[in-house]
Amino acid sequence: MRSLNDLESWIDFKSKVMLMYPNFFTLLSSNHPNLTLREIKLCALILMECDSNEAASLLDITPQGIYTSESKLRRKFSLIDGQKLHSYLLKFGAKEWMPEAFSGTQL
């Protein structure tokens, strides 16, 4: 796959994510409206369980840049130590919206 900075590649990848998680982008954006497009792309890659090297390649940044971006996302999402980004993002991918999933309970 080409870089997700290429519009056609991003649209293709986004449609594949939406097939598996139809509400993901809508729910993520409505709960975190200040996310940048790059952060949204990284969230989708994390949701799809891409490793850091693959995500770095797809976003045209270094693996260290992925680590830094993930740390920033954890802060934006107010995740507590040990709470996994993937587990948090899966809540937005639920087939049915479950607001109680965000009641502050630890995963």
The total number of structural domains in the chain stands at 1
The Cβ-side half-sphere exposure at 48, using a 13 Å CA radius, reads 21
12, pLDDT greater than 90: yes
Calpha distance 2→57 (Å, rounded)? 9
- pLDDT on residue 104: 46
In a domain, 76, yes or no: yes
Average pLDDT score over residue span 44-56? 94
Place of tokens 């900075």: 5
In a domain, 107, yes or no: no
pLDDT category of residue 1 using cuts at 50, 70 and 90: low
Higher pLDDT, residue 105 or 89:
89
Find the domain containing 70 and state its range.
7-99
In a domain, 106, yes or no: no
In a domain, 79, yes or no: yes
In a domain, 43, yes or no: yes
Q: Residue 28: which CATH number?
A: 1.10.10
Phi, psi of 39 (to 5 degrees): -65, -40
